[in-house]
Every structure is written in C-alpha cells, then in structure tokens.
Amino acid sequence: MNRTMLLNAAVALGFVAATVAASLLAIGCTGASGTSAFAVRGASTVAVTTTSGKPLRPLGRLNRQLPAGLHALDLIALYSANTGPTLSRRKPTVLNGEWVAYATAAPGDQPSYYGWSGSDVFITRPGGQPKLVAGRGSRGETWNVCPAFSPNGRMLAFGRRGPHGRTLRVVGVGSDGTIGPPRITLAVPQINELAPCPKWSADSSRLAYIDTRQKLVVRGLDGSRQPRRVGDPRLGDFNQDDSPAVGPSGRLVARRELVSTSGMPCALVVSRPDGSHTRLISDQPCSYAIGGWSPDGRKLFVMRDVGGGFTMRAVSVNAPFTSTPIAINVRVNHARSWPGYGDVSWQPIPRR
C-alpha cells in the first residue's frame, strides 16, 4: 500500500468507524496488501495494520489534499489490547485430524495415597462417543497415561504402568477410529514407579522419555536405544506445566490468568513469546488447566472441573474465539487426578 492509495482512501471513502476522545477517527480501506485500519487524531497520528496482523512500515507524513480537520498522517500499528491482531493468518503446515486422545488421570497421580484406581486412554472426536484405547483393568491396577499422536497422524503412543512393569505402547489409529496395527510394546527399564510419558521424533520413527536419573532416552520402534538426533524431543519438551503452553510452531504461547475485567474473572492470555500481540479470551467458567494445542496452532484444549470430573473444549485463539466441546463430563478417580497439560493430544491429519 503506497501513499497515494492511503490518500485516496481517506479522501474518497471518508468512512468514519468510530469517534473517541480528542476527535480520534477510525477509517477502513482495502488495497493490494489487504484490509487496513488507521486512526486520525487532529494533526497527530494515524495507525495502520493489515489483515495479516503485521504493522506497516512508517511512511512519513502526508499533509496535502486532506479533508477539513485532517492535517497530517503518521503511520503506525494499531490494534485493540483486548483482541489484538490476528495471530495465525499463515496457512498452517500441519492440519488437524479427526481424533483427540486423552487420559483420565495425570501421570503424577499414580503414587497416590488414595490407593489403586488406575486410568484409561480414550480417543474421541467432536460430537462423537469416546472409544477406549487402553483400560485400567478390572482391579484398577493399570495406569495408562500421556497419550501422544505421532506427527504423521497414524499412530498413538502412551505410557503404561501395570502389574508386569512399565512399558511404552504404540497402536495404529485408522481414519474411522479403529485401533489396529502396528501394536508395539517397549519395556522401559531404569525408570521409577511412574509410567513413562512418551514424545515422538519429528519423523515418527522414534520415541523419547525421561528415566529415573532425569536423562533423556531415545528408542526406535524396534526397541533399540539410539543417540539423540535432530528432530528428537529435548528435556524441556517434557515440562508438564501449562504456564505458558507453547504452541506447535513456537510462535505463540498461552496461559490462564485471573483478570479484573468486569464480566471476565478468568481469561486465556495468548501472545507471542516476548509478550507482544497479547489478546484475552474469556475463560468462563474458569478452567483448571490448558491441556495442549491443536496441530495447526489455532486452538487450545481447555480443561474445566464439572464436579467429580472434567469437560474438555477446543477454543479458537482467533476471533470470534469459538468453543467446541470435545469430551463432556469425564469421570475422574478423585479430586487430585484431573488430567492437564500433556495429557491430551490432537491427531494431525494422517499422511504417509
């Protein structure tokens, strides 16, 4: 967008969207780079942003042929602190598949003085019924935790702790939710009483977990121990704290926050890692955790207590911030076993 385009838009359109203190005017126009918005305050400033959310480079001051009352244009970025510019206009490189996997307890719940109760792993999709992937057994002696879809969207890994030891399990997930091959079990030595939480390599060929010594262990799907390579998880990837929850591209982070804004006691705060481009998304009723991100980085899993269980919703980080139910009123073992960050995984669209 050049100076002439801006000038013509201001003169020809003359569209006033809002008037605020000190005669601040908001004007909209459309050009080659998309829709833009700018504000005029007498002879002071004009603020411009494109639909991509990127501020335009300052273009200087335009002082000629302006309507009465508009004396100068200084181009800067402008957006609402409450909604921010659109954060995810880029076409995602990874698309969301149909299925979401979740565990019914957090991994840290296993050594609980509440006694044995076990946990399950399910897959579900919006509007569908959950399908059991791995159960706790009739006596509640088996814990299935930390489900994680492979980056190619075709496999689901999770950790298991049972009467016969600790293992990593891998199963195939069909497009219709059928659980089938491959079916892989990897014994996990040198680990404490907890089931391991697996993470995938970028090419879906290896799994990593943390051992008792807090060392990273990388395993091939054939069970072999392997050195860490480019694309394998790092120690920091195993953080179970959702503050902040880092998006799949690393360009966005999210956290839960108590706010004083009237009518919004709790909010999801989404921003760039440096804190810029912040936006507040209503989180009402207040959630207890962010479960994770969708593969395309455009939705958050929000976990809410519903009394004796949890409800999980997928909330868009872009306006109008739509919220889609994923799992409703899932029962938990007791008050300490709500699943949270890292206990939910959205399948990427399957690919070869």
Count the helices and strands in the chain (H runs, E runs): 1, 26
231 neighbors 201 (Cβ within 8 angstroms): yes
Could you count the other beta carbons within 10 Å of the beta carbon of residue 203? 13
Note the CATH architecture for domain 96-348: 6 Propeller (2.120)
Confidence grade of residue 17 (pLDDT, cut at 50, 70, 90): very low
**151 vs 60: which has the higher pLDDT:** 151
Q: Return the domain boundaries, the chain.
A: 3-76, 96-348
pLDDT of residue 195: 83
Q: What is the tens place of the pLDDT at every residue in 237-287?
A: 888 777 789 999 889 999 998 876 656 788 999 999 999 999 989 888 899
* Residue whose tokens read 């899932």: 330
pLDDT of residue 89: 53
Q: What's the whole-number mean pLDDT along residues 64-79?
A: 34
Q: What is the tens place of the pLDDT at every residue in 19-55?
A: 333 333 333 333 333 333 333 333 333 333 333 444 4
Which residues have a Cβ under 8 Å from the Cβ of 10 and sit 6 or more positions away? 27, 29, 40, 66, 67, 70, 73
pLDDT of residue 20: 30
Reply yes or no on whether the pLDDT at 158 is more than 90: yes
- Kindly report the pTM of this predicted structure: 0.71
Confidence grade of residue 91 (pLDDT, cut at 50, 70, 90): low
pLDDT of residue 110: 58
Reply yes or no on whether the pLDDT at 312 is more than 60: yes
Separation of alpha carbons 146 and 257, rounded Å: 25
Q: What is the tens place of the pLDDT at every residue in 328-337?
A: 888 876 655 6
